[in-house]
Amino acid sequence: MSTNIFWQESPIGKTERQKLLNQKGCVVWITGLSGSGKSTLACSLSRELYTRGKLSYILDGDNLRHGLNKDLGFKAEDRVENIRRVGEVAKLFADAGLICIASLISPYRKDRDAYFSAFIKHLVYMNMSLQLCEARDPKGLYKLARAGKIKGFTGIDDPYESPLNCEIELKEKEGECPSPVTMAEEVIAYLEAKGFLQNQ
């Protein structure tokens, strides 16, 4: 890392941007197994925020691998770098005053904890069983992993480390994932209680 660099302050700060948007910038980070409903929740949450006049942006793990992270695979070191990059981008969105919704498996506890400490974050854990996620299998990835066609697949031959602490834990009910709107409303209620949706 170069030492000949200096931080350039902006004449318009986070407080001014938040006043302009009538909201507080933050990061809602959704973690969980593939097929647990992370992206579905992210889209539903973004839509519900929009209807309330709040500006959000989704950082979806798969979408980011089409551009920003297209050079990364799924080895442990690549997963670490994936989280680092997304964490830095999410931090910028929050600083801009947006509600950033990051939707990634982010399987390793130490990596989530390491990058979350640097900015305001709210961890949402999609606590859905492997059995449910594998039954849902919307992208057919579990089938490929079971057939040995995908190596290092989280939940099959690579671990997922559940959060020890999270702000919101969403659980399956009677073997089913709650509806997207129900889950989004729970997250919104949390954000409202914390003052992130109040006019500035």
Catalytic positions are: 106
CA distance 86 to 115: 9
Spacing of C-alpha 191 from chain mean position: 15
Nearest residue to 62 via CA among 88, 47, 43:
43
The CA distances from residue 141 to 31, 42, 147, 168, in Å, are: 17, 20, 10, 26
CA distance 174 to 152: 29
Query: Could you tell me if residue 49 is left (phi over 0), alpha (psi between -120 and 50 degrees) or otherwise beta?
Result: alpha
